[in-house]
């Protein structure tokens, strides 16, 4: 099983929206690198849900609830989406500031490629962030 981190601006789709709705289409990705990662996702893979711009912190965990499929909001047919299902909140959100200060997390794409909206997370990085949330 793989781990990922997905970003959303709370003004368009927030963690509390996700908690309420439980399961949602993760559509609107218009970046090839992000799309390629979406494509690699497997059913049951876990993802951190990160609030960009407002909050700048990891709020909780969701899981991949469908494999890669057509994005109905994309008329070009180049992009796609998966479904994301609510799993659990973090006990305490982990902020971008904390992540930047943590030596083991310096390779996280969140830091190196701030514009990428879907990125892989290693087992070690996952465990580290979970530990920080306790």
Partner DNA sequence: GCCAACGTTGGC
Question: Would you tell me which residues interact with DNA (CB under 7 A)?
Answer: 7, 9, 30-33, 52-53, 56, 96-97, 100, 110, 113-117
How far apart CA 99 and CA 95 sit, in angstroms, is 6
Residue number with CB closer to DNA (79 or 86): 79
In the structure encoding, which two tokens stand for residue 112, read together? 């190196």
Residue number with CB closer to DNA (33 or 122): 33
Q: How far is the CB of 131 from DNA (least distance, A)?
A: 21
**Cα-flanking dihedrals φ and ψ of residue 123, to 5°?**
-55, -45
Q: How far is the CB of 68 from DNA (least distance, A)?
A: 16
Residue number with CB closer to DNA (82 or 110): 110
DSSP-derived 3-state class of residue 86: strand
How far apart CA 108 and CA 99 sit, in angstroms, is 9
């Amino acid at each position: 099983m793989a781990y990922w981190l997905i970003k959303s601006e709370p003004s368009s789709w927030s963690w509390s929206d996700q908690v309420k709705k439980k399961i949602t289409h993760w559509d609107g990705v218009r970046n090839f690198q992000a799309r390629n990662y979406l494509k690699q996702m497997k059913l049951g893979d876990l993802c951190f849900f990160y609030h960009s711009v407002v909050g700048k912190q990891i709020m909780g965990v969701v899981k991949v609830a469908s494999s890669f499929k057509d994005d109905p909001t994309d008329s070009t047919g180049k992009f796609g989406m998966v479904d994301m299902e609510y799993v659990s909140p973090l006990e305490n959100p982990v902020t971008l500031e904390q992540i930047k200060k943590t030596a083991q997390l310096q390779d996280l794409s969140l830091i190196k490629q701030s514009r990428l909206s879907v990125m892989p997370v290693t087992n070690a990085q996952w465990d580290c962030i979970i530990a920080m949330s306790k």
